[in-house]
Structure formats: C-alpha cells, structure tokens
C-alpha cells in the first residue's frame, strides 16, 4: 500500500459514512456500552499502570516542540517569606505543546486530499481550532488494550505487518476484537528517558498493517514513540497516520511510557484514556491508564 504521492485517493478500507455523514468520533463509535462492559471485565490483578510520561523541562518531546513549562502562581516560599506558617495554598500554571508529550491525536490532526476523516474539509481546522473532529468531540475512551512488546525486533526487518501482529497475539493466546486498542512497546521511550536515542533505530508498525487494523476494527493504536510508524522524510505525511486517522477514524496515541506493564509481563488490560476536553483541540496531553 504505497500512499506517498497519492494522498487523498482512498486506496484501502474506509470508515467514512459508516457512523453517519455527520460523525466526528470515528472509531470511538466502536466503544459501545457492551464493549465498555467487556473491557471492564478484563482486569485480573487490579494493578494500575500510568502510561504517560512526566511533564517537565527536559522531558522527551516529539519533534521540534518545546517540553512543558510548569510555573507556580503561589507556593510555600511566598508564605515563608512572609513569615506565615499558619496556613497556605499553592497553585500552578502549565504551558505546553499538546502534541509534544504523551498525547492522543484528535481526528482533526491530519488530512489528505483536502479531507479530514469522514470527508470534512481541512479548512475547518483554523487558528480557532478544529470546528470538526476536535478532541472535545471524542471525549473519554474506555476499551481493552492488547500490549505488544516488539522492542526485540530488529529495525532492519522493517515494520510489523498485520500477519505478524496476528501471530504475535496468537502466540500469547490473544485475539483482537472490534474496538480493541493495540499498544506497541518499541523501546524508543526507554532510550529517550535514559538519553540513549542517538544513533539507534527502533522497530515500527508497517503502513500495510492498516488493512489488518481495519479488518479487525481496532479503535486505537498507541506506541512509546513520537509516531507509531516510520516518520519518513520531512514534508511527507506519515502514511499510517493517513490510513488510521483519516481513512478509518482510528485514534493514535503517542509518546507513551510502556516500560512498567512490559516489565510486569502484562499483555492485556482495561485501557482508559481521558483527553482534556480542549475545545476544538487537535491533540490532548493524556496520562492513559492500563488496568491489568
């Protein structure tokens, strides 16, 4: 499935119109009440994993963005200076590039052929934000996640394909169901957090996996790197973004920290992602929770 150069010509599967001509939530529609109830039944241990990274200066950041800036509006120092230790309150401000830290892409994050998911115009995304497919339309996502540790895969073997994903799951007795999330641990974030990114390559998901993802009605794909796929050369839309977000309305979650659940041997769990309801937002920082 070669898409570069032919963006906007739908060559593979599509979910446009599937949930109505006005739908702005895409694969979130797969998270039916029944699916949610099923996902809530997945946890066996009750352990809660935080999949977001810490927001602070110097934290790993996706692309040419700045890391979050955290500033205090009031703090204990103010009271110390005043010699008042009877009581006090602290308050803070946050300035951040939503897409720079652990975040979920809204369906308005990318487009091709002039169209967002479901055929909305890219012109609906302006300085005032996305009047179509904003993250506030998505809201919270509750589903089952399947966690794939592919960090041992040599980068030279190319990206994971659909059949490889299926085999990986099958080996563990797992089967993807409609509405499920796939989370890929590539090792990128481990390296980023320990300052060892330079000169290294990491496994990715192949563009061709889009077909498998469509066929299995996966609702969300997450990874511990800045883009699920190979990001390609500058100035070309990552092709799997095009397939997942634009053609299928499938959500992408990036910059996750998956070390702990991988270390604990977790391969499935209840996944809860609660984007801030940023009006017309094209991303939201999130701290996804995985409950095993």
Binding to a copy of itself (CB under 8 A): which residues in 81-120?
81-82, 85-99, 108-114
CA distance 290 to 139: 17
Q: For the window 128-147, what string marks contact with a copy of itself as x by the rule CB under 8 A?
A: xxx-----x--xx-x-----
Interface with a copy of itself: number of residues (CB under 8 A): 102
Phi, psi angles (nearest 5°) of residue 251:
-85, 145
Nearer to a copy of itself, 197 or 277 (CB): 277
Identify the sign of the CA torsion 146, 105, 107, 210: negative
Phi-psi category of residue 46: left, alpha or beta, with phi > 0 → left and psi -120 to 50 → alpha: left
Q: Tell me the C-alpha to C-alpha distance, in Å, between residue 163 and each of 11, 121, 268.
A: 20, 34, 19
Q: Which of the stretches 123-131, 161-169, 179-187, 200-208 binds a copy of itself when contact is defined by CB under 8 A?
A: 123-131
**DSSP secondary structure letter of residue 161:** P
For residues 182-241, which are near a copy of itself according to CB under 8 A? 236-237, 241
Among 45, 163, 175, 178, binds a copy of itself (CB under 8 A): 45
31 binds a copy of itself (CB under 8 A): yes
2 binds a copy of itself (CB under 8 A): no
Nearer to a copy of itself, 22 or 91 (CB): 91
Gyration radius from the chain CA atoms: 20
10 binds a copy of itself (CB under 8 A): no
CA 162 to chain CA mean position, Å: 19
Nearer to a copy of itself, 160 or 244 (CB): 244
Element (H, E) at 269: strand 268-273
């Amino acid at each position: 499935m070669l898409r570069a150069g032919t963006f906007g010509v739908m060559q593979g599967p599509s979910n446009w119109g599937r949930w109505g001509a006005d739908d702005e939530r895409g694969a979130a529609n797969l998270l039916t009440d029944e699916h949610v109830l099923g996902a809530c039944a997945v946890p066996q241990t009750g352990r809660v994993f935080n999949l977001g990274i810490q927001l602070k200066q110097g934290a790993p950041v996706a692309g040419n963005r700045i890391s979050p800036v955290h500033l205090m509006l009031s703090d204990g120092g103010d009271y110390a200076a005043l010699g008042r230790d009877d009581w006090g309150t602290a308050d803070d401000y946050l300035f951040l590039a939503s897409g720079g830290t652990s975040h979920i892409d809204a369906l308005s994050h990318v487009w091709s052929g002039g169209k967002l998911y479901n055929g909305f115009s890219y012109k609906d995304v302006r300085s005032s934000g996305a009047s179509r497919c904003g993250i506030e339309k998505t809201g919270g996502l509750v589903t089952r996640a399947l966690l794939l540790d592919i960090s041992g895969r040599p980068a030279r073997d190319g990206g994971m394909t659909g059949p490889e994903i299926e085999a990986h799951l099958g080996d563990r007795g797992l089967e993807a169901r409609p509405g499920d999330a796939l989370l890929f641990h590539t090792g990128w974030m481990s390296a980023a957090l320990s300052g060892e990114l330079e000169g290294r390559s990491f496994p990715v998901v192949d563009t061709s996996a889009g077909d498998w993802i469509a066929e299995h009605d996966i609702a969300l794909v997450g990874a511990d790197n800045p883009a699920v796929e190979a990001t390609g050369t500058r100035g070309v839309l990552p092709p799997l973004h095009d397939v997942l977000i634009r053609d299928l309305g499938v959500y992408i979650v990036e910059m996750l920290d998956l070390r702990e659940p991988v270390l604990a041997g977790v391969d499935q769990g209840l996944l809860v992602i609660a984007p801030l309801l940023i009006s017309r937002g094209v991303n939201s920082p999130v701290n996804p929770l995985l409950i095993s």
